[in-house]
């Protein structure tokens, strides 16, 4: 008797649960959203605000780690369990878009009153494009510029209001600022063998007239030669080769480097840690009047093409975009929009810095977009490191990288 009774109860319970499930489904459309944002960052908070609207769409949020975003997402897509919405790093956007994994939302954008392509900075916008169509919208953006220690400039007889404008000036100033006796290097940046190295070098190559398609252009070779001069003369720590941007800028904050190349994500930490007067300048150019360029970072929103609710998912994106004006105030991130003026925070150094970053953003270029980006990036990293360690000349290293990239691009 026992077993049968239990079986009945079990069956009833199951039926109850599934009925309940169906009832819930009839009311609300449930979407899933994956991102790497933690609770003080935008995604989970935007999801909370969206759900609070009670408009018949509920979003379930899932946090994934930075290193797992791509592998997890593609595994889920391959097995048909992809989320509806995902936040993905901008150089990886093309990889998904080119394989039809992301939904083409060009038509929805055309009909939208919230999302307008013209409102975005050209760089971030380009990173969501593939084949002339839009496969997502930029979530936030960032770029790199030159931080410099004004007190050290003064101490070495340099004008604190005249940060270096060109590559030659940068090297010249770094020479004056480097002080081995005090453990001070002129410059801190990152040439690490990962995406950070590419992120830091590519703007230099682009300012020199190069790019990932012609990484061995004359100007790009000159850029790498400049880097090599900086490394050979010990104007930057040799550990630049293995240190990421966060650690490198840490040496600037602690007064062991007079200048640092990094992004706005450092601002909060720097205003707390740096006990000196600092400023931010645009990334130096090859020579006066040369074309500016900058790296572009941060994530994009995208809808997976496997979603059953494309219209609802797009509604969510529209809501996120409508909150872009609060991005910097609430989360310290820069919206990828040129139509939004970010209100001042009241901290003088930070507000000054923000102005420069906004200016620098105008020149920000996406990496790629190319579905084979990781391999292209690896070729560039290898070239940087081969040249800086003296194993190859900058020209040979970049020639080899160009060959590798040509093979990848086919």
Partner 1 sequence: MKRFLSSVRDGRGFDITLVAFPLTFLFLMAGLPLIYNVVMSFQEVDMFSLGTFARPFVGLKNYKDLFAQPETWPILGNTVIFVVGSIAGQFLIGFGLALFFWVNFPGASWLRGLFLVSWVMPGLVVGAIWNWILSGDFGVLNFILKESGIISGNIFWRSDPHFSLYAVIIANVWLGTAFNMILLSVGLSGIPGDLYEAAELDGANAWQRFWTITLPMMRSTIGAIVALGLIFTLQQFDLFAAITSGGPNNSSNVTQYWAWDLSFRQYDFAKGATISVIMIIFVMFASVVYVRSTRHEVRG
Shortest Cβ distance from residue 403 to partner 1 (Å)? 10
Shortest Cβ distance from residue 213 to partner 1 (Å)? 19
Shortest Cβ distance from residue 256 to partner 1 (Å)? 7
Shortest Cβ distance from residue 7 to partner 1 (Å)? 30
Our finding on whether 194 is near partner 1 (CB under 8 A) is yes
Shortest Cβ distance from residue 36 to partner 1 (Å)? 16
CA distance linking residue 333 with residue 73, whole number of Å = 24
Report the residue number, 97 or 361, with the smaller CB distance to partner 1: 97
CA distance linking residue 303 with residue 306, whole number of Å = 8
User: In which residue are the tokens 């994530």 written?
Assistant: 299
Which part of the chain contacts partner 1 (CB under 8 A), choosing from 207-215, 294-302, 340-348, 370-378?
Answer: 370-378
Report the residue number, 29 or 193, with the smaller CB distance to partner 1: 193
Shortest Cβ distance from residue 367 to partner 1 (Å)? 14
Our finding on whether 362 is near partner 1 (CB under 8 A) is no
Q: Are 262 and 278 a contacting pair, CB within 8 Å?
A: no
Contacts of 408 (CB under 8 A, 6+ apart): 372, 375, 376, 379
Our finding on whether 34 is near partner 1 (CB under 8 A) is no
Report the residue number, 247 or 359, with the smaller CB distance to partner 1: 247
CA distance linking residue 113 with residue 212, whole number of Å = 36
Name the DSSP class of 181: G
CA dihedral over 93, 98, 101, 102, signed as positive or negative: positive
Report the residue number, 68 or 291, with the smaller CB distance to partner 1: 68
Coil/strand/helix, residue 102: strand
For residue 51, the number of C-alpha atoms closer than 13 Å in the C-beta half-sphere is 14
Which part of the chain contacts partner 1 (CB under 8 A), choosing from 67-75, 107-115, 207-215, 349-357?
Answer: 67-75
Our finding on whether 222 is near partner 1 (CB under 8 A) is no
User: In which residue are the tokens 């992120």 written?
Assistant: 199
Shortest Cβ distance from residue 244 to partner 1 (Å)? 9
Nearest alpha carbon to residue 174 among 163, 191, 25: 163
Report the residue number, 180 or 346, with the smaller CB distance to partner 1: 180
81-140: contacts with partner 1 (CB under 8 A):
95, 99, 101
Shortest Cβ distance from residue 270 to partner 1 (Å)? 20
Q: Please list, residue by residue across 356-372, b when 16 or more beta carbons sit within 10 angstroms of its beta carbon and e when fewer do.
A: bbbebbebbbbbbbbbe
Report the residue number, 35 or 198, with the smaller CB distance to partner 1: 198
Q: Are 303 and 318 a contacting pair, CB within 8 Å?
A: no
Q: Give strand pairing partners of 59.
A: 31
Contacting partner 1 (CB under 8 A), which of 238, 275, 287, 344? Answer: 238
Report the residue number, 293 or 307, with the smaller CB distance to partner 1: 307
Binding mask 379-398 for partner 1 (x = CB under 8 A): ---x--xx-xx-x-------
Report the residue number, 194 or 213, with the smaller CB distance to partner 1: 194
User: Which stretches of 158-278 are DSSP H helices?
Assistant: 167-177, 195-207, 218-232, 245-253, 267-273
Shortest Cβ distance from residue 376 to partner 1 (Å)? 10
Q: Are 300 and 128 a contacting pair, CB within 8 Å?
A: yes
Which part of the chain contacts partner 1 (CB under 8 A), choosing from 83-91, 186-194, 292-300, 317-325?
Answer: 186-194
Shortest Cβ distance from residue 80 to partner 1 (Å)? 9
Q: How many residues bind partner 1 (CB under 8 A)?
A: 33
Phi and psi dihedrals of 5, rounded to 5? Answer: -60, -45
- What six digits make up the tokens of 232? 């050979």
CA distance linking residue 384 with residue 112, whole number of Å = 44
292-321: contacts with partner 1 (CB under 8 A):
none
Report the residue number, 42 or 186, with the smaller CB distance to partner 1: 186
Coil/strand/helix, residue 392: coil
User: Which stretches of 130-166 are DSSP H helices?
Assistant: 150-155
Return the biggest CA–CA distance within the chain: 95
Our finding on whether 193 is near partner 1 (CB under 8 A) is yes
Our finding on whether 251 is near partner 1 (CB under 8 A) is yes
Coil/strand/helix, residue 258: strand
Question: In the complex, which residues of this chain contact partner 1 (CB under 8 A)?
Answer: 67, 70-71, 74-75, 77-79, 95, 99, 101, 183, 192-194, 237-242, 251, 256, 374-375, 378, 382, 385-386, 388-389, 391, 400
């Amino acid at each position: 008797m026992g077993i049968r009774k239990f079986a009945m109860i079990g069956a009833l319970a199951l039926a109850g649960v599934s009925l309940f499930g169906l009832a819930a489904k009839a009311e609300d459309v449930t979407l899933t959203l994956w991102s790497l944002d933690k609770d003080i960052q935008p995604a989970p908070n935007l999801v909370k605000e969206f759900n609070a609207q009670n408009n018949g769409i509920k979003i379930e949020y899932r946090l994934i780690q930075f290193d797992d975003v791509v592998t997890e997402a593609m595994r889920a897509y391959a097995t048909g369990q992809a989320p509806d919405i995902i936040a993905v790093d901008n150089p990886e956007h093309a990889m998904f878009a080119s394989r039809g994994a992301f939904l083409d939302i060009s038509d929805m954008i055309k009909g939208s009153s919230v999302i307008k392509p013209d409102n975005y900075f050209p760089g971030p916008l380009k990173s969501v494009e593939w084949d002339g169509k839009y496969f997502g919208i930029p979530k936030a953006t960032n770029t790199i510029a030159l931080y410099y220690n004004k007190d050290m400039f003064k101490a070495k007889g340099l004008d604190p209001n005249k940060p270096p404008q060109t590559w030659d000036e940068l090297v010249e100033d770094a020479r004056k600022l480097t002080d081995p006796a005090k453990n001070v290097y002129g410059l801190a940046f990152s040439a690490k063998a990962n995406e950070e190295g590419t992120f830091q070098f590519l703007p230099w190559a682009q300012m020199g007239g190069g790019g990932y398609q012609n990484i061995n252009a004359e100007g790009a070779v000159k850029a790498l030669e400049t880097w090599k001069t900086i490394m050979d003369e010990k104007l930057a720590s040799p550990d630049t080769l293995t240190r990421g941007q966060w650690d490198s800028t840490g040496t600037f904050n602690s007064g062991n480097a007079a200048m640092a190349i990094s992004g706005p994500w450092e601002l909060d930490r720097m205003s707390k840690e740096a006990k000196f007067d600092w400023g931010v300048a645009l990334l130096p150019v090859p020579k006066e009047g040369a074309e500016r360029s900058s790296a572009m970072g941060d994530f994009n929103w995208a809808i997976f093409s496997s979603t059953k609710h494309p219209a609802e998912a797009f509604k969510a994106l529209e809501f996120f975009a409508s909150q872009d004006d609060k991005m910097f105030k609430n989360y310290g991130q820069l919206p990828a929009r040129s139509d939004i003026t970010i209100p001042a925070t009241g901290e003088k150094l930070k507000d000054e810095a923000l102005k420069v970053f906004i200016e620098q953003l105008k020149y920000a270029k996406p990496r790629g977009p190319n579905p084979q980006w990781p391999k292209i990036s690896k070729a560039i990293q290898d070239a940087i490191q081969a040249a800086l360690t003296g194993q190859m000349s900058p020209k040979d290293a970049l020639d080899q990288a160009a060959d590798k990239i040509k093979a990848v691009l086919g």
